């Protein structure tokens, strides 16, 4: 095994680039320098591609916390909050709580499919959805608290690019998420009020 491969195998962030490593002939050891791909040369370590970005918005809703939580059990609600084009195949448990759904996001005029699964559901206080697609992984965490009259809802969306190509486009994706989340959350609040 080459010294460059040994070095990459010891770096914790290596897992984020495993699918994007060039063929073995293109991975070269240059003393303490490692060339992973054009433009990604670092001294002594593999490059961290891009860290996650978080976006949040807090809104007052003229509905009780239970009504807000119940609305979150509809996959269509997550379409509007997450800013995706379509949702389908919503699944619910025996108690009627949402457990997951599939979605399609439009990116650069192309349909990009993905899946979402509920990783936390605490009626009527909180819900977290984990999102995976070819381009990114994300989570949307919603907390709901009582506030007279109605509720306060906080939404935190954290996203990370998935792979080298997505990393290059991630600043544009992040800008769209950052500008769209407040608008989407406000729209949801208006519908419930």
- The proportion of the chain whose per-residue pLDDT surpasses 90, expressed as a percent, equals 43
- The proportion of the chain whose per-residue pLDDT surpasses 70, expressed as a percent, equals 73
Reported as a single tens digit per residue, the pLDDT across 88-98 is 999 999 999 99
Query: Of 43 and 143, which is predicted with more confidence?
Result: 143
What is the topology classification, in CATH, of domain 53-192?
A: Alpha-D-Glucose-1,6-Bisphosphate; Chain A, domain 4 (3.30.530)
Q: How far is CA 82 from the centre of its chain?
A: 9
Reported as a single tens digit per residue, the pLDDT across 134-171 is 888 999 999 999 998 899 999 999 989 887 777 787 88
| C-alpha torsion 35→24→51→162, nearest 10 | 150
Phi and psi torsions of 110, nearest 5°: -115, 145
Query: Of 65 and 3, which is predicted with more confidence?
Result: 65
Tokens representing residue 68 in the block: 């807000």
Confidence grade of residue 103 (pLDDT, cut at 50, 70, 90):
very high
For residues 8-24, average pLDDT: 40
H or E segment to which residue 180 belongs: helix 164-192
Sorted by where each begins, the domain ranges of the chain are: 3-43, 53-192
Please give the pLDDT value at position 170. Answer: 81
Please give the pLDDT value at position 9. Answer: 45
Cα 144-145-149 angle, rounded to 5 deg: 115
Per-residue CA distances from 26 to 17, 20, 37, 39, 119 (Å): 15, 12, 8, 13, 39
The mean predicted confidence, pLDDT, of the chain is 77
Please give the pLDDT value at position 50. Answer: 56
Please give the pLDDT value at position 110. Answer: 78
Reported as a single tens digit per residue, the pLDDT across 71-82 is 999 998 988 887
CB of 82 within 8 A of CB of 131? yes
CA dist 172 and 174 (Å) reads 5
């Amino acid at each position: 095994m080459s010294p460059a491969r040994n070095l990459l195998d010891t770096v914790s962030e290596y897992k984020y680039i495993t699918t994007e490593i060039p063929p073995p002939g293109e991975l070269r050891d240059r003393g303490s320098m490692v060339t992973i791909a054009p433009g990604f040369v670092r001294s002594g370590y593999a490059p961290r591609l891009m860290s996650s970005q978080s976006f949040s918005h807090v809104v007052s809703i003229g509905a009780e916390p239970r009504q807000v939580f119940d609305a979150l059990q509809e996959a269509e609600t997550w379409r509007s909050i997450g800013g995706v084009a379509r949702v389908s195949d919503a699944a619910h448990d025996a108690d009627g709580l949402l457990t997951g759904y599939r979605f399609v996001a439009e990116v650069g005029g192309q349909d990009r499919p993905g899946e979402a699964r509920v990783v936390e559901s605490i009626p009527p206080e909180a819900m977290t959805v984990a999102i995976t697609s070819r381009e990114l992984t994300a989570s949307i965490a919603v907390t709901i608290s009582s506030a007279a009259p109605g509720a306060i809802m906080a939404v935190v969306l954290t996203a990370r690019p998935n792979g080298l190509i997505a990393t290059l486009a991630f600043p544009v994706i992040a800008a769209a998420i950052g500008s769209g989340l407040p608008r989407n959350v406000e729209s949801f609040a208006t519908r419930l009020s």
